[in-house]
Amino acid sequence: MNESSSFFQKRIRKRTIILSFFFFLWFSALTLRLVELQVIEHGRLRAAAFRQNQLKSKIIPERGTIYDRRGIILARSFPAPSVSYIPSEEEPLPQKLAKIEELSRVLELSNADLTRIKARIEKGETFVWIKRKISPEKAEQVKRLGMSEITIQEENKRYYPLGRLAAHVLGGVNIDDEGAGGVELECDVRLKGVAGEGLFLRDAKKRHYHREVLKPPTPGEDLILTVDETIQYIAQRELERAVESHQANWGTVIISHPPSGEILAMASSPGYDPNDFSRAHPEERRNRAIQYNFEPGSTFKIVTAAAAREFGLVDFMDTFDCSNGSIRVAGWTISDHKKMGVLSLSEVLIHSSNVGTAMVGQRIGPEILYRTIKAFRFGEKTGVELPGEEAGIFHPLPKWSGSSLASQSIGYGISVTAIQVLQAMNVFANNGLLIPLRVTRETFDFSPSLQAARPAGERIISEKTASDLVEKVFEKVVLDGTGQAARLKGFTVAGKTGTAQKIDPVTGAYSARKHLASFVGFAPARKPFLSMIVVIDEPKAGLHYGGQVAAPVFQEIARRVLLYLGQTPQFDPAKKVITAQLREASYR
């Protein structure tokens, strides 16, 4: 029994050792696995768990409101529900697609959107936008479907209550509420604020059951424009009427307050509704006041006149023989629309003689003309707070050809923007000072007299040169010359017309049928309250001169704006004695 008992004890001990060894191995493997999972792979597994059970999302902040100078809302954001889909991994693909089809019927998705959404689900994406920024009524219909995979979250939708008004100044935003044009783009950082962060919690089937805000968003700042809603409406309506009545390609109007440089209105036609910014054609969204280069023609003669007088090279009574009606310069023929005889410098500009102005340019010389053009800031952007501004095309003096002096004297061979020409005309309105143009301001202006601090301008020409040209030329352009259609009852007006032939893209030569008509001026002439440029591209319907097409638009807009601003007439138009005209009026 002792031997037998000893034998069994040995077997039991052996089995115990073996079992203990295997238990030790199992425990060691388990320990190693736990160390691997909890220490070595902890970060990866933790991230994987978060990916399965949590979904972080960006919370877009409320965008700042845009006001006009009087406090009228031009753009603001409202909460808008958006629908997203977080598919469950266990749900078969056909059932997922069937749910999307049901959603499509409620949300009225386009075929293209439906195809795009299905493709993303088939790829296994874990978050898919179905439709963003829908109406509250549609959101309620979606909720009634009872789909646990569907999430409805609040976003912000940009709304422009005045529709097409000031569209090219405002611009627009994309689906993510990011600026995509106009001041919405230029001032995007200021308007958009700082995004927050949200967290969706999901169960094992990826059905969300809780949403938590991790970091609240910071709303954007508000923005005040220099634009006046009523003045903008007047300018936009009259411009659209002119473009339609003259069957023109496009037109643009800019109105400013010369002493402050504030832009009161900026309109382009054709236009668009910023509420449908993404659907507007690129040509409709193009702000032609700052984004279109053109040869200015006779409005550019204001620079030639400034060069002639500032340097004392030509006196107002110096005469020029324009009786031939044309002049040949370096193989290029410069013509007037009719023979004008012998003209003084004042008459050359008042009646917009190309021949006479080319002769003035020859007196000035290339160096002086070049310096003056540069001084008026042509060839560079004005710096207005809007995106996409063109600088124009102005070649350096070494690249001038034999005909450049004559051609640039009359506004050819150089390309400008409408805002550059208005800025140049404002130099005369401000007694020789250049005051930068702008579209934003810091505070509201509830005064009818356009209260604004006068910035320190930069002197471009002397006060005497500016006042002499206003009195002896630009006022008389409207009284006796090419700009008579811009006359205002009870107010003096200073201005200059322009009619530029356009280059035919087929022939590469200047076309006798395609013109760009313009007028730039300010009123009252001696103490300007407003300045304006009107540009109409390729007017048809029988009229094409700037004095016929653009000057009447100036007159109608200025009349209405001065009435709106409560400006009292300077004189009784019934008693005003107007100098008798000694020659037939022209419109060039």
* Catalytic residue positions, numbered: 298
**Buried b vs exposed e over 265-288: b needs ≥16 C-beta within 10 Å?**
bbbbbbbbbbbebeebeeebbbbb
Q: What region does 488 belong to: left with phi over 0, alpha with psi -120 to 50, or beta?
A: beta
DSSP string of 56-98? EEEEPPPPPPEE-TTS-EEEEEEEEEEEEE---SSS-HHHHHH
Measured CA to CA, the distance from residue 495 to residue 470 in angstroms comes to: 8
CA–CA dist 273, 166 (Å, integer)? 9
- State phi, psi for 489 to the nearest 5 degrees: -70, 120
Q: Is the peptide bond before 524 cis (omega within 30 degrees of 0)?
A: yes
Q: Rounded to whole angstroms, how far apart are CA atoms 345 and 308?
A: 9
Cα 497 to Cα 359: distance, rounded to the nearest angstrom? 19
CA-to-CA distance for 351 and 410, rounded, in angstroms? 13
What is the spatial distance between Cα 320 and Cα 280, in angstroms, rounded to a whole number?
Answer: 51
Burial of 178 (0-12, 13-18, 19+ CB in 10 A): middle
Q: What contacts 189, CB < 8 A, 6 or more positions away?
A: none
